[in-house]
């Protein structure tokens, strides 16, 4: 851990100003940590009113924050005032922990088909295989153990995680990042039952992925059946996300961990799907729809609300009312008894519903 | 994309007839696509009344369909009339996109134990390892990066996806297909708590898989504890399916993506489990049971109905009634208030349910 | 399958005694199987009153059990009486199926960075890569295809499954076991939306795992954002478990298959999470909390009860009442009709709840 001065950091932000600090050369830190961290000399970021209390008692040597939030710190603390604290955090982290850059070496233990094209500056790890007519862009890192079949194309500046596999014909844009053990382009799940067995429908579509997409570890993205599975630009998927065949996903879509789309789902731009969600086949979510984590969706919501809840198509405000009533459901039989007692008192006879 | 004539296709179906087409040699297409496709020259399949409207406006050069469905197309369209449109689609796709066949080459970069037996015609990829006494059948494709431990046996015509792993003693029948990064034969999850810690119960059963089974990408099938985990013939599993130790799965079972069976689950023949389902340990599903996607099952249904719903053991018709009532649950507190108002009006005093 | 005598087994348990058997040298078995097994000569274990009936009709040659349970077997059966039948089972299984021990060989087809340190007795498989400054302990087995980045440390006696991947800086204690295709140390899922896109927040924390941890196949454990993801001693995770960034997990925690923790979840010691559970971000479960399989948790339970149910925060007794009332929910509209009929009878007019 290298010691750095606040002065170094100010150079990253020409428009930033320093508060309560006569000489930024004399303020030092070794790490970037959360406000609540308790050890070492660290810089921290205050990016929300929710954390002002934490900031006040923070042991941080420097707090990076906005003018507005700094004004809420009653004590005189060393602050670096920036326009957007989250973006500043990213810049500082990239300075303190510079991301790996491709070393341009192709492992002698990689097996690359003669017809494959590898861009300049690209690093290919050990025990990688790259098939015929595959095209890998410039300045990529293809980590150890990656397997790439024939006719795959991957754009520039890709970061392909260890032991990922890419089936034939997969086409991926620039600045693609994926973590370990993800499988892209395996067959979609399509069978037709006849003659006493499930007969496989050949899956002849491809996977087509745009620019600036990030995919986590151990994800699966299936090739299309008769058309392609399509993922737009700027999408970000967490670990163990499953995208079935023929899905069409717009731009800047977020899907959190362990969520899955069944076949032929269409997602508009800027859709956000929380973790552990299941989206049924052929549903459509319009631009900007948000599905809360842990939800199952069985019908297409009509609007771009926040949806939540098991299979119930509830919006978030409805769900909050639903949740209040769970304690009533637990006693529903007692309330039904009271309805029947009332009827009995009034001499009304009604037949009870039968299953 | 090669141009093909309808005449070529008719040769695949000696009993088929062509409608509205004087010369099938003059009808050409390059791809097989859905009816709704909008680009290029393509053949499409009409396999259900639900798509007749789409077929009417389809840009397909040829529509493959049945006599019954063709009769619903009011316009004179070029049709190939077959007995079963879905099976015809499969045949046409296999003709237009012939599946990969093993090249019979064993990579010099594979490491195969001296006692392992490799069948004739089998292709072994780069960076594969195959352990002692393993037996691989004829005409298999073992893709790059696959790892096979000692005493594994795999039948003829297998298609083993990149980077899959097989633990010792796993036994698999003929025509097995599996996609990338799947793990078969890892230990079941068995511990007993004693002396302040979870003590591992050695898992000494095997995984035994029948013929004609297909498994998706990134699945896990665990070895049995004291007996074997058994999967019958003709089963098809989608991506990220998890089969725990000691499960006994019948023939022709379908399990869709991200569903899991806990330990010692028994599935009869022709069971269908939708995506994102969780089946609790030791449950039994009788032949033909269907579990709708997104369901959790905590008790064994007695009959072969369609079951759905979180943990509620609802059949599909019951679930439909349940769903209608969700909007009532949201207001249940108001209905309860009205019961109490009625009681008050009648001078009845009842104590409310507690906790 | 080697034939073994009961006499051999008695030597493992100096304090054990044999019932109904004049000469343990004359009692033989070849396998350890469940009581209900129907083939071959086998030893079985009776570890609970629930299985006494099965034990009575068991075809086992020997039953290993406790004094208390043996007393419930009315017939004179050959028994080995031990203090703890489950722990005895473990000992017998380890005797009959001795676990693999490292052969101390380093494959010439592994690529190990010059600065990496490999402990004595450790076995390194084929096509393994180990990065700069990595440290692997003594007597480990690193299976074929494992990829270990720079600065990873793994303690003694590890069992690392085929094709697992470890990202840079991951730190793991002694006696770590993991099965195939698991990914440890990939980036956490952290973005901030600005300038029309999701901007990646560099993930600069590590994964830190204690001693005696076991992780299943195809799991993912993400590195922390600004702090570490921490897993205590003695934790056991099943297949496809997902641990997001910044989680802090205590000691001896159990997480069953396909369950996931979102970011910054804190689990106390001895927490048990069933299969297919989703725990929302930033929740805390106190020591000893149990979450039943198939549950989603959206708020932190205050106590160490058993919790269950979709998102409802129900304890197990509440859930049982809830479940009874599901049949009432299905008819809730009819009960509401009856409330309204009562009101009408009494001349009461109430406006119905809207939306």
Phi then psi for residue C221, to 5 deg, are -125, 115
| pLDDT above 70 for A310 | no
Domain match, A290 and A147 both: yes
Domain match, A242 and A137 both: yes
Picking from C107, C181, C350, C354 by the largest number of B CB atoms within 10 A of its own CB, the best residue to mutate is C181
ipTM of the complex: 0.95
Report the pLDDT value the prediction gives residue A328, as an integer from 0 to 100: 86
- Tell me the shortest Cα–Cα distance from B195 to chain A, in angstroms: 34
Closest chain C residue by Cα to residue B297: C294
Domain match, B121 and B20 both: no
* CATH assignment of the domain containing B80: 3.40.1390.10
- What tokens appear for B115 in the block? 């006692």
Q: Which of residues 115-154 of B touch C (CB under 8 A)?
A: 127, 129, 145, 147, 149
**Cα distance between residue B209 and residue B302, in whole Å:** 26
Domain match, B241 and B300 both: yes
| Candidates C99, C181, C346; nearest CB to B342 | C346
State the DSSP code for B9.
H
Domain match, B138 and B281 both: yes
The H or E element containing residue C147 is strand C147-148
Q: Which of residues 2-31 of C touch B (CB under 8 A)?
A: none
Report the pLDDT value the prediction gives residue B320, as an integer from 0 to 100: 84
Judged by average pLDDT, the poorest of A100-104, C153-157, C308-312, C339-343 is C308-312
- Tell me the shortest Cα–Cα distance from C171 to chain B, in angstroms: 22
Q: What is the DSSP string of A169-208?
A: T-EE-SS-EE-TT-EEEEPP--EEEETTEEEE------EE
Which residues of chain C are within 8 Å of residue A128 when distances are taken between CB atoms? none
Instruction: Indicate which residues of C carry an active-site annotation.
Output: 245
Does the residue B329 lie in any domain? no
Which of B35, B67, B96 is at the close of a domain? B96
* CATH assignment of the domain containing B281: 2.160.10.10
| Candidates A183, A321, A345; nearest CB to B180 | A183
Which of the following is catalytic: B242, B245, B252, B331?
B245
Query: Strand C290-291 and strand C272-273: pairing?
Result: parallel
**Cα distance between residue A137 and residue A211, in whole Å:** 13
Does the residue B65 lie in any domain? yes
Domain match, A51 and A180 both: no
Looking at the 3D structure of chain B, how many domains does it have? 2
Identify any residues that bridge with B112 across adjacent strands, giving them in sequence order.
B130
Q: CB-side exposure of B108: number of CA atoms within 13 Å? A: 2
Judged by average pLDDT, the poorest of A110-114, A171-175, A349-353, B102-106 is A349-353
Picking from C32, C275, C278, C314 by the largest number of B CB atoms within 10 A of its own CB, the best residue to mutate is C275
Question: Smallest Cα–Cα separation from A350: which of C336, B110, C354?
Answer: C336
- What tokens appear for B317 in the block? 């018709």
| pLDDT above 80 for A286 | yes
Edge-to-edge strand list for the sheet holding B290-291: B123-124, B141-142, B159-160, B177-178, B214-215, B236-237, B254-255, B272-273, B290-291, B306-308, B314-315
Which residues of chain B are within 8 Å of residue A262 when distances are taken between CB atoms? 256-257, 275, 293
A327-354 b/e with 16+ CB inside 10 Å = b? bbbbbbebbbebbeebbeeeeeeeeebe
**Cα distance between residue A53 and residue B46, in whole Å:** 64
- Tell me the shortest Cα–Cα distance from B138 to chain C, in angstroms: 24
Domain match, A261 and A297 both: yes
Q: What is the DSSP string of B34-98?
A: -TT--SSSEEEE--SGGGHHHHHT---SEEEE-HHHHTT--S---EEE-S-HHHHHHHHHHHHSP
**Cα distance between residue A79 and residue A73, in whole Å:** 10
Report the pLDDT value the prediction gives residue B32, as an integer from 0 to 100: 98
**Cα distance between residue C339 and residue C68, in whole Å:** 57
Per the listing, tokens 């019954």 go with B68
User: Which subunits have 3 or more CB–CB pairs within 8 Å of chain A?
Assistant: B, C
CA angle (A176, A180, A183) in 5-degree steps: 75
Which of C68, C96, C124 is at the close of a domain? C96
Mean pLDDT of B156-171: 98
Which of the following is catalytic: A126, A168, A245, A282?
A245
Does the residue A56 lie in any domain? yes
Does the residue A105 lie in any domain? no
Report the pLDDT value the prediction gives residue A320, as an integer from 0 to 100: 84
Which residues of chain C are within 8 Å of residue B112 when distances are taken between CB atoms? none
Which residue blocks in A230-315 are alpha helix, DSSP H? none
Per the listing, tokens 């926040």 go with A306
| pLDDT above 70 for B233 | yes
Contact B16/B92 with Cβ under 8 angstroms? no
| pLDDT above 90 for A326 | no
**Cα distance between residue A214 and residue A224, in whole Å:** 20
* Per-residue pLDDT tens digits for C209-222: 999 999 999 999 99
Contact B319/B302 with Cβ under 8 angstroms? no
Which residues of chain A are within 8 Å of residue B34 when distances are taken between CB atoms? 226-227
Neighbouring C-beta atoms of residue C173, cutoff 10 Å: 20
CB contact under 8 A, C96 and B280: no
**Cα distance between residue A157 and residue A140, in whole Å:** 4
Domain match, A71 and A116 both: no
> B1 CB near a chain A CB, below 8 Å?
no
* Per-residue pLDDT tens digits for C102-115: 999 999 999 999 99
CB contact under 8 A, B34 and A227: yes
| pLDDT above 90 for A322 | no
**Cα distance between residue B215 and residue A80, in whole Å:** 54
| Candidates A125, A293, A355; nearest CB to C280 | A293
Contacts 24+ apart (CB under 8 A), C282-289: C287/C250
Report the pLDDT value the prediction gives residue A312, as an integer from 0 to 100: 67
Report the pLDDT value the prediction gives residue B313, as an integer from 0 to 100: 66
**Cα distance between residue B31 and residue B62, in whole Å:** 11
Question: Smallest Cα–Cα separation from B43: which of B82, B84, B87, B93?
Answer: B93
Report the pLDDT value the prediction gives residue A354, as an integer from 0 to 100: 72
> C255 CB near a chain A CB, below 8 Å?
no
| Candidates A145, A183, A227; nearest CB to B33 | A227
> C239 CB near a chain B CB, below 8 Å?
yes
- Tell me the shortest Cα–Cα distance from A230 to chain B, in angstroms: 15
Positive or negative torsion for Cα B74, B79, B84, B88: negative
Which of B38, B72, B96 is at the close of a domain? B96
Question: Smallest Cα–Cα separation from B258: which of B213, B209, B219, B310?
Answer: B219
> A106 CB near a chain C CB, below 8 Å?
no
Per the listing, tokens 């343990």 go with C24
Domain match, A261 and A158 both: yes
pLDDT tier for residue C120 given thresholds of 50, 70 and 90: very high
**Cα distance between residue B165 and residue A293, in whole Å:** 32
Please name the residues in contact with B80: beta carbons below 8 A apart, sequence gap of 6 or more: B6, B9, B10, B13, B16, B17, B18, B19, B62, B63, B64, B65, B88
Closest chain A residue by Cα to residue C189: A238
- What tokens appear for B211 in the block? 């013929």
Domain match, C35 and C184 both: no
CA B23 to mean position of chain CA atoms: 40
pLDDT tier for residue B160 given thresholds of 50, 70 and 90: very high
Neighbouring C-beta atoms of residue B22, cutoff 10 Å: 9
Under the phi-then-psi rule, with left for phi > 0, alpha for psi from -120 to 50, and beta for the rest, what region is B326? alpha
**Cα distance between residue C189 and residue C170, in whole Å:** 17
Mean pLDDT of A186-196: 97
Closest chain A residue by Cα to residue C192: A86
Judged by average pLDDT, the poorest of A75-79, B273-277, C302-306, C310-314 is C310-314
Picking from B32, B94, B324, B330 by the largest number of A CB atoms within 10 A of its own CB, the best residue to mutate is B330
Domain match, A33 and A181 both: no
Does the residue C333 lie in any domain? no
- Tell me the shortest Cα–Cα distance from B98 to chain C, in angstroms: 31
**Cα distance between residue B92 and residue B44, in whole Å:** 10
Query: Strand C153-154 and strand A28-29: pairing?
Result: unpaired
- What tokens appear for C355 in the block? 């939306």
For residue C158, the enclosing domain spans: 111-318
Report the pLDDT value the prediction gives residue C313, as an integer from 0 to 100: 66
Which residues of chain A are within 8 Å of residue C345 when distances are taken between CB atoms? 346, 348
| Candidates B199, B244, B332; nearest CB to C87 | B199
Closest chain C residue by Cα to residue B317: C330
Does the residue A106 lie in any domain? no
Average pLDDT, chain B: 95
Does the residue B354 lie in any domain? no
Domain match, C199 and C250 both: yes
Does the residue A152 lie in any domain? yes
């Amino acid at each position: 851990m290298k010691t750095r001065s606040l002065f170094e950091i100010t150079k990253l932000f020409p428009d930033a100003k320093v508060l309560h600090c006569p000489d930024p050369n004399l303020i030092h830190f070794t790490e970037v940590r959360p406000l609540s961290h308790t050890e070492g000399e660290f810089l921290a970021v205050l990016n929300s009113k929710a954390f002002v209390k934490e900031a006040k008692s923070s042991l941080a040597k420097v707090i990076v924050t906005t003018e507005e939030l700094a004004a809420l710190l009653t004590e005189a603390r060393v602050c670096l005032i920036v326009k957007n604290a989250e973006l500043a955090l990213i810049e500082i982290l990239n300075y303190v922990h510079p991301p790996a850059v491709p070393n341009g070496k192709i492992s002698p233990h990689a097996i690359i088909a003669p017809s494959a094209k590898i861009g300049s500056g690209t690093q290919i790890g050990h025990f990688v295989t790259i098939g015929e007519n595959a095209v890998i862009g410039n300045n990529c890192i293809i980590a150890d153990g990656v397997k790439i079949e024939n006719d795959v194309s991957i754009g520039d500046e890709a970061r392909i995680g260890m032991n990922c596999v890419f089936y034939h014909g997969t086409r991926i844009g620039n600045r693609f990042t994926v973590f370990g053990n993800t499988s892209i382009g395996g067959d979609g799940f399509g069978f037709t039952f006849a003659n006493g067995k499930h007969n496989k429908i050949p899956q002849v579509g491809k996977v087509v992925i745009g620019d600036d997409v990030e995919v986590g570890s151990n994800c699966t993205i299936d090739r299309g059946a008769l058309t392609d599975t399509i993922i737009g630009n700027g999408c970000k998927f967490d670990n163990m996300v499953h995208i079935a065949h023929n899905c069409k996903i717009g731009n800047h879509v977020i899907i959190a961990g362990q969520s899955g789309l069944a076949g032929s789902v269409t997602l508009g731009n800027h859709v956000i799907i929380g973790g552990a969600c299941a989206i049924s086949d052929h549903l459509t979510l319009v631009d900007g729809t948000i599905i809360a984590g842990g939800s199952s969706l069985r019908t297409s919501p009509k609007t771009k609300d926040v949806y939540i809840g098991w299979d119930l198509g509830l919006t978030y405000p409805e769900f909050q009312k639903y949740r209040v009533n769970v304690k009533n459901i637990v006693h529903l039989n007692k309330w039904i008894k009271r309805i029947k007692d009332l009827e009995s008192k009034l001499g009304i006879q009604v037949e009870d519903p039968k299953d």
